[in-house]
């Protein structure tokens, strides 16, 4: 069962590893990211950040889609972490069981505008967020479980 789909450019760090897993009762974290899946050093570093008792799986976006749709992940209380809005848009197009995405952190870069404390979006990312919204995917900006979530559509106007 998918408990949370989260976009966070830092992927797995203390806030995600401990606050979210504890709040949700997560027993498995799936990092869906093409670059990390190919980078053994980066994968090793992320594995060290995983909380004890929580399984960490790192797969490419395509392999993640296949696994999620096959039912093999259904036995877990699963948190999916993506690095980008683009990847979340792609994942939600191909995994019909996802209807909500948590937007936790997108780093600042040239050409991006700030829409919340830790979220910066480019014009292309705004289009992707609107695409998810039009397909019925709720996108909520929420850094930690205790925060009050904000609908991303209200923030990108």
Whether residue 9 lies in the annotated active site: no
**Active-site entry in 9, 13, 77, 94:** 13
Task: Check: pTM over 0.85? Answer yes or no.
Answer: yes
Which helix (H) or strand (E) element contains residue 31?
strand 28-32
Q: What is the pLDDT along the chain (157 residues), one digit of tens a residue?
A: 999 999 999 999 887 788 999 999 999 999 999 999 999 999 999 999 999 999 999 999 999 999 999 999 999 999 999 999 999 999 999 999 999 999 999 999 999 999 999 999 999 999 999 999 999 999 999 999 999 999 999 999 8
Check residue 15 and give its pLDDT.
75
Q: Note whether 102 and 3 are within 8 A (CB).
A: no
Encode burial over 17-38: b for 16+ CB neighbours within 10 A, e otherwise: beebbeeeebebbbbbbeebbe
Check residue 110 and give its pLDDT.
96
How many distinct structural domains can be found in the chain?
A: 1
Euclidean distance between CA atoms 59 and 133, whole angstroms: 26
Other beta carbons within 10 angstroms of residue 130's beta carbon come to 15
Q: Which domain holds residue 38?
A: 2-155
Check residue 131 and give its pLDDT.
98
The enclosing domain of 145 has a CATH number of: 3.40.35.10
């Amino acid at each position: 069962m998918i408990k949370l789909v989260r976009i966070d450019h830092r992927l797995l760090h203390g806030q995600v590893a401990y606050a979210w897993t504890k709040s949700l009762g997560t027993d498995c974290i799936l990092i869906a990211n093409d670059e990390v899946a190919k980078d053994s050093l980066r994968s090793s570093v992320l594995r060290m950040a995983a909380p004890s008792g929580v399984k960490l799986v790192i797969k490419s976006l395509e392999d993640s889609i296949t696994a999620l749709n096959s039912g093999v992940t259904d036995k877990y209380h699963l948190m999916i972490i993506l690095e980008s809005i683009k990847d979340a848009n792609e994942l939600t197009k191909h995994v019909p069981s996802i209807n909500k995405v948590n937007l936790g952190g997108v780093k600042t870069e040239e050409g991006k505008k700030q829409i919340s404390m830790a979220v910066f979006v480019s014009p292309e990312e705004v289009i992707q967020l609107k695409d998810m919204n039009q397909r019925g995917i709720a996108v909520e900006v929420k850094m930690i479980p205790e925060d009050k979530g904000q609908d991303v559509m209200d923030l990108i106007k």
